[in-house]
């Protein structure tokens, strides 16, 4: 019974198409993340503030921005 539940979510003949599509979306998501971090680094001295000055608040803000961006990308991938 349990094996039937988890048997094949994606049929084998569609597996390659699903994997390629997933990898494309992962690549697009990583590019968007990189661009967003690059823009934030250009606007604010993130590395200096977090590593040298130990600015915890900035780390929390940058992490929140990245989590929000990840949620938007995940929603766009799901459709």
What confidence tens digit (pLDDT) does each residue in 10-60 have? Answer: 677 777 887 888 788 888 888 888 898 888 888 888 888 888 888 899 889
pTM: 0.62
What residue segments make up the domains of the chain, in order of their start? 42-79
CA distances from 51 to 35, 42, 48, 76 (A): 21, 16, 6, 33
Res 13: pLDDT: 75
Res 51: pLDDT: 83
What confidence tens digit (pLDDT) does each residue in 18-29 have? Answer: 788 878 888 888
């Amino acid at each position: 019974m349990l094996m039937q539940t988890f048997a094949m979510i994606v049929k084998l003949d569609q597996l390659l198409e699903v994997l390629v599509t997933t990898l494309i979306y992962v690549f697009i998501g990583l590019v968007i993340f990189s661009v967003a971090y690059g823009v934030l680094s250009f606007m604010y001295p993130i590395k200096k503030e977090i590593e040298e000055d130990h600015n915890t608040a900035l780390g929390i803000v940058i992490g929140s921005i990245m989590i929000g961006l990840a949620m938007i990308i995940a929603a766009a991938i799901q459709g």
